Structure 1
Amino acid sequence: MAQTIVSRLTEGLASGQSKRFDNASTPTPEETMIKAGRSAAVLAALAAAALSLTACGGDDGGSGGKELKLWHYEAPDSAMGKAWSEAVKEFEAAHPGVKVTFEEKGFEQIQKTAPMVLNSKDAPDVMEYNKGNATAGMLSKQGLLTDLTAEVGKRGWDKLISPNVQVTAKYDAKGTMGGDTWYGVPNYAEYLQIYYNKDLFEKHGVEIPTTFDQLVAAMDAFVAKDVTPFTNAGAEYMAHQFVYQLALDRADQNWVDAFQRYTGKTDFNDAAWTYGASTFADWVKKGYIAENSVSLKAEDAGVAFMKGEFPMMFSGSWWFGRVAAEADFEWETSVWPGAKMTLGSGGNLWVVPEGSENKELAYDFIDITMKKGIQNTLGNAGGIPVAADPAAITEPKAKKLIGDFDGLAESGGLAYYPDWPVAGFYDVWVSQTQKLMNGTAPAEVLEGVQKSYDGGLPK
């Protein structure tokens, strides 16, 4: 725009100068030099004015008329959905003239298309993305995510996020978590737990378990009454998370580190993995988990539980807010009975695509989600905040949820998720666990998992 203005002014000056010379006598050399100097000075002043106008009204200065493109996949009535809706309002109030354009994307949608989308002009400015080597780690290695290390230090986010939660936000040059470069910011945490329908337990005269043996006894009691104990989703993450939890019951921290962070060799024929796969297959045969759930998605399983169709659901804390809002029965939660370790970590990450056109605004939005007001909202809505005021969390079930997480985090009980270590591993786990549910031998299933894992290890 500035160049256009200057060009037009230059044309005008040249035209006027030509006309003045045409109507006058031939100037002396001294007069020509004086007039040329004056014209140059006028041009310089006009050009500066034009640039100033452009800076005031164009796209490069201020925040007026800008748009922040935001993607996330949290349901509106989930804890994170509620907190982030509040964050959007606070952000827009603090940035007059900036409009947040929010696009809700499904977890699976972002999981499968992020590398392609972030390498295009359609990339958002800030988005929620899954943490782990196979997701955020892979994108960081491909150069698709912005290095946030300087911004994290500048805004003090590293002081708000505990070291065990930071692990999944930082990656090394190979895309392995636990590195020294920040590529994302988690503003909540998460873990798996059992949700209990207390009404169904009471109706069928079954005690809510506190040990693993009691859990098995409870499942036997429900099956004897023709009630399937657990809801499940074989077509998505729920099924293979059972396998991983059962394996964790026979594992230790060194086992987890070898699997997740390549500190040693992982053998899927070892005692822990064999127990996990064999026990899950046995649970399907015994009716603890329905065979026909092999084709169901997580939403199907979660909704069925919230409708009161199953006594138990083993899944993430991300369901907590929805269960609180939608379940028409008495319910409670607990960590997997008897578990020293379970699936969990810092929450999904806010990442800023390398192609973001509004990085400073993206940083400002992330910063707002880390403020105590938003963090307190998240906690009372059933999320696990990383920087809330503990005294501000007053909802009893939410306080227990956060307390259970804190206990796991302090004891080193967060074992991450089974699909994290290598790219494409999520789909492998889904397909192999479906085979397990359909009767394929556990050893054969684990062999398929081993092949994929070994083939995906960083070179």
Structure 2
Amino acid sequence: MFRTSRTAALAALAAAALALSACGGSSDSGSSGGGSQGKTLTLWHYEGADSAMGKAWAEAVKEFEASHPGVKVKFEAKGFEQIQKTAGMVLNSDQAPDVMEYNKGNATAGLLSKQGLLTDLSEQAAKRGWDKLLSPSLQTTAKYDQRGIMGSGKWYGVPNYGEYVMVYYNKDAFKKQGIEVPTTFDEFTAALDTFVKAGITPIATAGAEYPAQQIFYQLALTKAARPWVDSFQLYKGKVDFHGPELTYAAQTFADWVKKGYIAKDSAGLKAEDMGVSFIGGKFPIMISGSWWYGRFQSEIKDFEWGSFLFPGAQLTPGSSGNIWVVPEKAKNKDLAYDFIDITMKKEVQNLLGNSGGVPVAADPSAIQDAKSKELIENFNKLTTSDGLAFYPDWPAPGYYDVLVSGVQELINGTKQPAQVLDEIAQPYNDNLADIGN
């Protein structure tokens, strides 16, 4: 889930269109065997090559080509923001890929399913056993109803990994300041104070993309219970944007900036900037997702690092991972189904787990790496305790940008927390009116 700037999205989209128009499509009647001779499966995803998913899916491509003689996989790397901004336009054209990684939730996959841009995968999920491999909680993001709301209805996507937000920390930096791993929220803020007193800004984050809004949401979750999450995410009740959960989040986030826990210049930073700064040892803490785990395993060489669940919270941002979707206008749908099936196989799932990912169908005994075991164990703690609370940008189309703007205002101090809450409430409530809730 490494996300790049959207400034080059339109140029990249144009280049992709030229490339795709040259690759030649065919009908969706082909599958493995002679009927697929000479075909091309066009695959888009935005995982880094060194990430756990990137490694696992590269292996899946090899297995797919080996089991489909004469078929080539045309892989095109895309940035998260690029797909986020252009998916509706691309999938409504004849330049749609055959299979694509896409963000899950009402505002993204749900919106495209409602618009008729995604293929109904319900028959394939039953035929190929995906409905048996994925637990009910992980199926939440695979299914969408007629309104585009997740949790029920038809299958429009298939997740093959899990993910959640955690606290990454520099063990050497903690040791130097005499800080133990915090187990309560008070201990965590005491650790942050210790770093500030030592002249160190503790938390690496990025306000121009998703990381800062996930911290904001995590703070709200420290005051929330499952019914609040169901109201916010699934529209099962009314959300008070000036209630205790979001008021606490906005005020505390603003206070963290004032106290020096979060740098004021982080408002203009992107996720890659954040990750590189943590890898370089410039910040002792980074609050972000499990999608960074494999990269940190590969790239952090100069210090010892670890992770822990956010202290003092029973709920954590997280869910199944992003989902494979098959565009309605895909030219080789059967090949797409075959590729998705391979990513669910134990060999690929085991590789994902041993590379720092969170597999959904691995053999537990095949996970050998100690850090990977810890990662998966923490995810299992969250799933067994019903602790996954999805992500803050999911409820409404365009809400990602609304939250980016709002959190940037908290970092810059250009608006008071109550004003920011008013700003993020309006688009949410407008969306409820649009879908008739």
| TM-score, with structure 2 as normaliser | 0.91
Deviation per CA, 1:264-310: give whole Å up to 9, x if none: 01111001100001000000000000001110000000110011111
The answer on 1:383 being equivalent to 2:357 is: yes
* Alpha-carbon distance in 1 for matches of 2:231, 2:188: 29
* Alpha-carbon distance in 2 for matches of 1:221, 1:447: 34
CA RMSD of aligned residues (A): 0.9
Task: For 1:441, give the aligned amino acid.
Answer: Q
Q: What residue in structure 2 maps to residue 441 of structure 1?
A: 416
Q: What residue in structure 1 maps to residue 194 of structure 2?
A: 221
Write out aligned runs for 1:350-365 (5 A): 350-365=324-339
SS of 1:136's equivalent in the other structure is helix
- CA displacement at 1:207 relative to structure 2: 2.2
The answer on 1:401 being equivalent to 2:404 is: no
Q: What residue in structure 2 maps to residue 452 of structure 1?
A: 427
Q: What residue in structure 2 maps to residue 136 of structure 1?
A: 109
* Alpha-carbon distance in 2 for matches of 1:76, 1:319: 12
* Alpha-carbon distance in 2 for matches of 1:390, 1:338: 28
Q: Which has the higher helix share?
A: 1
Deviation per CA, 1:167-187: give whole Å up to 9, x if none: 010000000001120000000
Structure 1, unmatched stretches of 5+, are 1-59
The answer on 1:98 being equivalent to 2:65 is: no
* Alpha-carbon distance in 2 for matches of 1:62, 1:208: 57
Task: For 1:136, give the aligned amino acid.
Answer: A
Task: For 1:368, give the aligned amino acid.
Answer: I
Q: What residue in structure 1 maps to residue 247 of structure 2?
A: 274
The answer on 1:88 being equivalent to 2:55 is: no
- CA displacement at 1:338 relative to structure 2: 2.2
Q: What residue in structure 1 maps to residue 296 of structure 2?
A: 323
Deviation per CA, 1:381-414: give whole Å up to 9, x if none: 0100000000001111100100100111111100
- CA displacement at 1:208 relative to structure 2: 2.2
* Alpha-carbon distance in 1 for matches of 2:179, 2:224: 29
* Alpha-carbon distance in 1 for matches of 2:125, 2:145: 16
Structure label with greater radius of gyration? 1
Write out aligned runs for 1:180-199 (5 A): 180-199=153-172
* Alpha-carbon distance in 2 for matches of 1:336, 1:87: 33
* Alpha-carbon distance in 1 for matches of 2:318, 2:381: 12
Deviation per CA, 1:127-181: give whole Å up to 9, x if none: 0000000000000000000000000000001000000000010000000001120
* Alpha-carbon distance in 2 for matches of 1:181, 1:131: 14
The answer on 1:374 being equivalent to 2:348 is: yes
Write out aligned runs for 1:219-258 (5 A): 219-258=192-231
- CA displacement at 1:206 relative to structure 2: 2.2
The answer on 1:168 being equivalent to 2:124 is: no
Deviation per CA, 1:65-97: give whole Å up to 9, x if none: 100000000000000000000000000000011
Q: What residue in structure 2 maps to residue 64 of structure 1?
A: 37
SS of 1:168's equivalent in the other structure is coil
* Alpha-carbon distance in 1 for matches of 2:34, 2:167: 51
Structure 2, unmatched stretches of 5+, are 1-32
| TM-score, with structure 1 as normaliser | 0.86
* Alpha-carbon distance in 1 for matches of 2:108, 2:153: 17
- CA displacement at 1:64 relative to structure 2: 1.2
Equivalent of residue 416 in structure 1, options 359, 384, 390:
390
- CA displacement at 1:121 relative to structure 2: 1.2
* Alpha-carbon distance in 2 for matches of 1:242, 1:232: 9
Deviation per CA, 1:192-231: give whole Å up to 9, x if none: 0001100111122222212111100000000001101100
SS of 1:62's equivalent in the other structure is helix
The answer on 1:119 being equivalent to 2:92 is: yes
Task: For 2:196, give the aligned amino acid.
Answer: V
Of all paired residues, the percent bearing the same amino acid is: 64
SS of 1:190's equivalent in the other structure is strand
Q: Is the 8 A contact 2:98 2:331 kept in 1?
A: yes
Task: For 1:424, give the aligned amino acid.
Answer: G
Q: What residue in structure 2 maps to residue 289 of structure 1?
A: 262
Task: For 1:149, give the aligned amino acid.
Answer: S
Kindly tell me the number of residue pairs found equivalent between the two proteins: 400
Q: What residue in structure 1 maps to residue 8 of structure 2?
A: none
- CA displacement at 1:61 relative to structure 2: 6.3
Task: For 2:352, give the aligned amino acid.
Answer: L
Q: What residue in structure 1 maps to residue 47 of structure 2?
A: 74
- CA displacement at 1:456 relative to structure 2: 1.5
Q: Is the 8 A contact 2:146 2:153 kept in 1?
A: no
The answer on 1:314 being equivalent to 2:284 is: no
